[in-house]
Amino acid sequence: MLRIESKQIESKQTESGQKVTAGASGQTGYYGMPVLKRPQWTVEVPLYFFVGGLSGAASLIAAVGRMSSADAQLIRHARWMAAIGGIISPALLIADLGVPSRFLNMLHVFKIQSPMSVGSWTLVAFSNSAAATAVLGEFEKRRPNSAVSVLTDASQIVSALTGLVLSTYTGVLIGATAIPARNEHVSTLPIHFAAALETAMGASIELKSSPGTKALRSSVSGWAMRAAGLLSGPLPLALRLLSLRKSNTRERGLRRAAAISSVAGSLLTRWAWVHAGKVSADDNSVPLRLRSSIE
C-alpha cells in the first residue's frame, strides 16, 4: 500500500498540564493521552493516612505498655494520642468528601472486597474504642475500681487491634488500584507504611517525653528505633547516632531533631505515594504496554 506519511512525534502540554504526543498509533497510544484517571483525593487523605496510622500505633503502645505495666503517664499519653487521632481522622475524611453527612453512606454496607469499606468500619470501631479507653482510663485513675479496669482493658484491646488494621490497611487501599506505580508495589506498600510509622510513633512519644517515659525512651529509641530509623531515612539515624556521643543537653536537641525528622518522614512517605499515583496515572505506556511490546 502506498503510504505518503510524515507523522512527527512531538510532545505538547494541554491546558490541564497533561503531556500529549502529536500522533495516535500502536506505539504512542491515543495522542499520549492517559488511559487512567488521576487520583482525585485532596491533601486531607494522605494526612489522614498519617494521623490514623499514628493513632493506631499509639493505641498499640498503650495496650502493650499496660500489659508490661509500664509507666502510667506514658500509657495515659498514648491513650490520649490515640483518642485525639481517632477524632481528627474521620474529620479529615469528611473534609475530603465535601458534604459531611455523606460519610454515613459508608456505614450502610460492609464489603470485604473493598479496602475502603473495611477501612471505614475499622476507623469507626477504632475511634469509639480509643475514646472510650482514654475516658475510662481517667475514671480509673481517679477512682480505682475493678469493674472500670475490666472495661478499660476491654476497650483498650479493641482499640489496639483495630489500631493495627488502621495503621496498615492504607497500604492495601492505595495498592489495590489500577494505578501501575501502586499495584506493582502492593506487596510492600503496607510494610513500607508501617515501617515509616514505627519510627514516627516512637518519635512522637519522644517529642513529648517527660521523665516518666524513660522506659520507652531507652527502649523504643534504642536499637529497634535505630533500625526503623534506617527505613525512614538516614537523617534521623545520623542524628540519633550523633546524640550517643554528645553531652546531655546536646543529646536532647539532636534526639528532638531526629524525632521531628522521622515524623516528617512518615508523613512524606504517605504524601509521596499519593502523589506518585498522579504521575503514574498520566503515563499511558504501562497500561498500553508500550515499552514491552512493539507491534
Q: How far apart are the first and last CA of the chain?
A: 18
Question: Whole-number minimum distance, CB 142 to another protein, in Å?
Answer: 25
CB of 46 to another protein, least distance (A): 14
The DSSP secondary-structure symbol of 106 reads: G
Distance CA 81, CA 91 (A): 15
C-alpha radius of gyration, the chain, whole number? 24
Smaller CB distance to another protein: residue 6 or 249? 6
Least separation in angstroms between residue 167's CB and another protein is 6
Q: Are 24 and 276 in contact (CB under 8 A)?
A: no
Nearer to another protein, 135 or 157 (CB): 157
Q: Which is nearer to another protein, 222 or 234 (CB)?
A: 222
Q: Least distance (Å) from another protein to the CB of residue 147?
A: 26
- Residue 11: enclosing H or E segment and its boundaries? strand 11-13
Closest approach, Cβ 192 to another protein, in A, equals: 8
DSSP assignments along 19-79, one per residue: EEES-EETTTEETT--SSPPP---THHHHHHHHHHHHHHHHHHHHHHHHTT--HHHHHHHH
Nearer to another protein, 22 or 150 (CB): 22
CB-nearer residue toward another protein: 109 or 147: 109
DSSP letter at 143 equals S
Compare residues 155 and 168 and give the one whose CB is closer to another protein.
168
Least distance CB 62 / another protein (angstroms): 10
Closest C-alpha among 200, 166, 156, 172 to residue 64: 156
